[in-house]
Amino acid sequence: MVKKSFLFLSILAISFAQQKFTTSGVGAGGNMAIQLDVAYSSVVTGVGAFAAAPYYCAQGSEVTSKTACMLSSYLINVDALVQYTKDMASLDNIDDVHNIAQDNIWLFSGSLDTEVHQDTVKKTQQYFSNFVNAYKINSTFDVAAENSWVTNGYGNPCWYLGAPYLSNCQYDAAGYILKQLYGTLNAPVTMNFSNFYTFDQSEFVSSFDSGMVTYGWIYQPWSCLYNPNCKVHVALHGCDMNYGAIGNAFVRNSGLNTWAESNSIVIIYPQVLAQQVVNPAGCWDWWGYTGADYAWKSGPQMLGIYNITQNIDLITSHYRPNLSAKINKTGN
């Protein structure tokens, strides 16, 4: 195993050519994906989000996250959130907002969603329209889905709300996301299970209070094994969707991996810990349980994910040989 001191030195020695990446997520993961897209807009080039609120919607309040940002969208002041974004950029807490104009945005809200109402996602669309031209925003509101990550062949009935929070709606959301973010792609192919492996997230997290578990997952296509120029996409699970809750259901069945295999995209699946008091459902932090800077570049989870993406070559080169045999044997 690579020593921690070596990994942290590598973080400090990141080349000036930063690793660009895209991101997606569902629910709390969608909110985290939007936070990454806005705060790290110099390196994040697009976002796909299911059932997600505008950037900084919760404003540091768990109560607000569960009311205004999910069920009572009339309480969301989009103009105030846009101004907050600009103010934070002027203070260098997040990247220059002009970068967001280059992004491609994909938003989804199921017409049966009882957890995050569609009007919330429409506010998210309105928020992005202040920074991005309309033709770069693709929003879907007409699929009869509950609150979930929607797939084309795996999961619960589309109308069902419950674990593993993946719904078989015969709708290839993963494909729509990646095509929105990257443009024309090769058709998906069968994923190779030997291309899954775990890595030590704790090497890249600067705070013991980040709430991230020790191990995350990566899917690396064979074409990317020795190719440092592969695209990178970060996929973020929702609440009650981490490995501890649903095993590898999301990691294996998001639909992203089949597209990744044929298009040389490395998929990173970071993982958050369920904590008894502050975060029992294992949600990504979009309301402030890790600190007041949770939505800034310095936020513990934000910085942790960024560090992972910037060290992806190091992770894959050092961890894959040690873990592939174990993963193939256990099926995890």
* Inside any domain, residue 51: yes
* Inside any domain, residue 207: yes
Q: Using one digit for the tens of pLDDT, what is the confidence trace for 242-260?
A: 999 999 999 999 999 999 9
Confidence of residue 207 (pLDDT cuts 50, 70, 90): low
- For 231-249, b/e burial (b = at least 16 CB within 10 A) is bbbbbbbbbbbbbebbebb
User: Which residue range is the domain that position 173 belongs to?
Assistant: 4-10+20-330
Confidence of residue 75 (pLDDT cuts 50, 70, 90): very high
Check residue 9 and report its DSSP letter: H
Check residue 133 and report its DSSP letter: -
Phi, psi of 137 (to 5 degrees): -115, 120
Q: Return the SS3 of 299.
A: coil
Indicate whether 105 pLDDT > 60. yes
**Bridge partners, residue 167, by sequence:** 150, 156
Question: What is the average pLDDT value for the chain, to the nearest integer?
Answer: 91
Tokens 């592939």, residue located: 324
Indicate whether 140 pLDDT > 70. yes
* Inside any domain, residue 124: yes
Q: 309: Cβ–Cβ under 8 A, 6 or more apart, which residues?
A: 19, 21, 43, 232, 234, 268
Span 14-30, mean pLDDT?
86
Do 157 and 125 form a contact (C-beta atoms < 8 A)?
no
Q: Using one digit for the tens of pLDDT, what is the confidence trace for 26-66?
A: 999 999 999 999 999 999 999 999 999 999 999 999 999 99
Indicate whether 321 pLDDT > 70. no
- What is the rounded CA–CA span in Å between residue 111 and residue 143? 6
Indicate whether 138 pLDDT > 90. yes
pLDDT score of 170: 98
Least confident of 41-50, 145-154, 179-188, 199-208: 199-208
Domain count, the chain: 1
* Inside any domain, residue 281: yes
* Inside any domain, residue 71: yes
* Inside any domain, residue 99: yes
* Inside any domain, residue 15: no
Please tell me the pTM assigned to this model. 0.91
- What is the rounded CA–CA span in Å between residue 284 and residue 30? 9
Indicate whether 329 pLDDT > 90. no
Indicate whether 17 pLDDT > 70. no
